[in-house]
Amino acid sequence: MKQQEARAVIDALEHGREFVFYNYAADTRETLKRDVAGSCFVLTRQNAYQPDDTEKRTFTRDELLAELESNFSYASFGLPPVPGSPTTKKGIHHR
């Protein structure tokens, strides 16, 4: 993901948006949101068959920016295209 796309995702999180991803290969559900206090961002990974098997990671804004750039595709967030980014009008990511 490009930096301007990662910033758009963080802006959406800062305005109360929450993102949920399903990783069918790993049987996990991942949720990315801002914590209640607003001081950090939380990525929660939960096993679909064992709900007690949960992993939480917290990120500062800069840490999340780096994580998004290296490990996420902008298209998976369902946000509108960012001007100047390599996406189409439908938000499909091209590399």
pLDDT digits (tens, 9 = 90+) for 25-70: 889 999 999 998 889 999 999 998 898 899 999 999 999 999 999 9
Global pTM value: 0.79
Give the per-residue pLDDT at 80. 86
* C-alpha–C-alpha distance, residues 9 and 77, integer Å: 8
Let me know if residue 81 belongs to a domain: no
Residue at 87 is within a domain: no
Range of the domain at 9: 3-72
Residue 92: pLDDT band by 50, 70, 90 thresholds? Answer: very low
Whether the per-residue pLDDT at 17 is higher than 70: the answer is yes
Helix (H) or strand (E) holding 32: strand 28-34
Exposure string (b/e) for 54-80, b if CB count within 10 Å is 16 or more? eeeeebeeeebbebbeeebebbebebe
What is the tally of structural domains in the chain?
1
